Structure 1
């Protein structure tokens, strides 16, 4: 395979991250200072559009140009070596054990119960992202789904695949993607960076053990839904 196209796509994908992150610290500080509900909802809408443009669109276009759209449903061969040293959690018939999906949903329920009986602060500087009234709940839900889908498609599949194609080493791709994934959340402070890096590591391991991008999208989405939707709802935000 010619390395020209993967190289161009890699630079384009990194440019997308740069565009998405440009001025993020100052922008987030300004968002934290917002008290007007309309302005906050407009910012949520803008973030949804930017996330789609920076992550989802490049992934879809890039995979089409590479002729690798099948990677969305089946793990690329470039990842076989990395996946081979991880324990598989797939049934003999190739299906995911129901315990895995049940555990993910059970975690969401557990988070709701903890939110009801144990008032804890979220990890990292994310308080401003929590919905302040019921009109913002739908945006928090949309952000959770968007993050779960686009970030996993980009950081667990697309970016590692491009780097693996160019270097022949999937682990270089996963390590670089993990570092960028954590750095992308620097607006949350060091606690947030460490927490998201740890989450990214778990998602990487889960992807390699299941071979399913959709599973890690689901788990990531449920984690975000728990923090951005379930906890605020249990805290009574739906009454406002």
Structure 2
């Protein structure tokens, strides 16, 4: 217990320093136009996040007696999972009218909100706008960064940290809430709006994880969210607003 408390204190201090440095680095990144400098920061974030979060996850899981035998969904999370399980089910003959209704509802909503949708797709719409790759080399690094975030962040914030906090506090609810808040604060370089958005996303990912019980699923979902933000949405914006292919699909350097 003493070692676990000491490790949490170390992570709190080191995490605070790391986030403060990231805030400064991201502010600098937003002003950079040279792709070599941008690629250097992409690589630094990729290597550091994998090493730091991966290492912290392994040590935290060891302290929580969950490193071996490793399971993507520990039995300690079972009470929360049972609360999210629903006994209700939809029969096969009910899916078709539901799907048709959802489809036409989406079409009508898009038609009504078309101008707002175009505005939301415009450049500068989100705090992570600067991370959108500008050429193929940046795109490769951004893709690796997205995949790594799905792996290392979910391993730490969805599994390792909650388990360690549960061991120390004895409360699963408190452990999950603190982990969600830590996930949001870890993205402080996006500003307070980004912290709120990532905290909300962390809460949804936690619910998704507890409901399905699969760490791989939530890792994949996280990676898909990042890939959508860095590639899919900008590509759609380029096609709709300027009728051209994305910059990263054309530029090679």
DSSP 3-state at the match of 1:85: helix
Q: What residue ranges of structure 2 are gaps of 5+ in the alignment?
A: 88-113, 239-245
What is the aligned partner in structure 2 of residue 175 from structure 1?
177
The CA deviation at 1:42 is: 0.5
| 1:207 aligned onto 2:198 | no
- Residue in structure 1 matched with residue 229 of structure 2 by the alignment: 227
Output the CA distance in 1 between the equivalents of 2:73 and 2:33. Answer: 44
> 1:25 aligned to 2:36?
no
Judge conservation of contact 1:131–1:232 (CA < 8 Å) in 2.
Answer: no
Which of the numbers 3, 8, 11 marks the counterpart of 1:10? 8
Distance in 2 between residues matched to 1:220 and 1:198, nearest whole Å: 13
The 5-angstrom pairing of residues 85-124 of structure 1 reads 85-87=83-85, 118=118, 120-121=121-122, 124=126
How far 1:71 moved relative to its partner? 7.3
Against the structure 1 CA distance between its residues 218 and 64, is the aligned structure 2 distance closer, same or farther, given a 3 Å change threshold? same
Cα 1:44–1:149 shift into 2, 3 Å: same
Q: Which of 66, 76, 81 is equivalent to 1:68?
A: 66
* Paired position in structure 1 for 2:33: 35
Change (3 A) 1:65 1:186: closer
How far residue 222 of structure 1 moved from its aligned partner, in angstroms, is: 0.5
Structure 1 partner of 2:220: 218
Give the distance between the partners of 1:42 and 1:50, measured in 2 at CA: 12
For 1:239, the equivalent position in structure 2 comes to: 250
Give the TM-score of the pair, scaled to structure 1.
0.79
Whether the 8 Å CA contact 2:121–2:234 is kept in 1: the answer is no
1:4 deviates by 2.5
Q: What 5-or-longer segments of structure 1 have no aligned partner?
A: 90-113
The structure with more radius of gyration:
2
Offset at residue 58 of structure 1 (A): 1.2
Matched residue, 1:101:
none
1 CA distance for matches of 2:224 and 2:59?
Answer: 27
Q: Report the equivalent of 1:193.
A: 195
**Whole-Å Cα distance in 1 between the matches of residues 54 and 39 of structure 2?**
22
Cα 1:186–1:180 change in 2 (3 A) is: same
Q: How well do the aligned residues superpose, as a CA RMSD in angstroms?
A: 2.5
Moved more, 71-80 or 204-213: 71-80
More moved, 48-57 vs 224-233: 224-233
Is the Cα–Cα contact under 8 Å of residues 208 and 218 in structure 2 kept in the other structure?
Answer: yes
Q: How far did residue 87 of structure 1 move?
A: 1.7
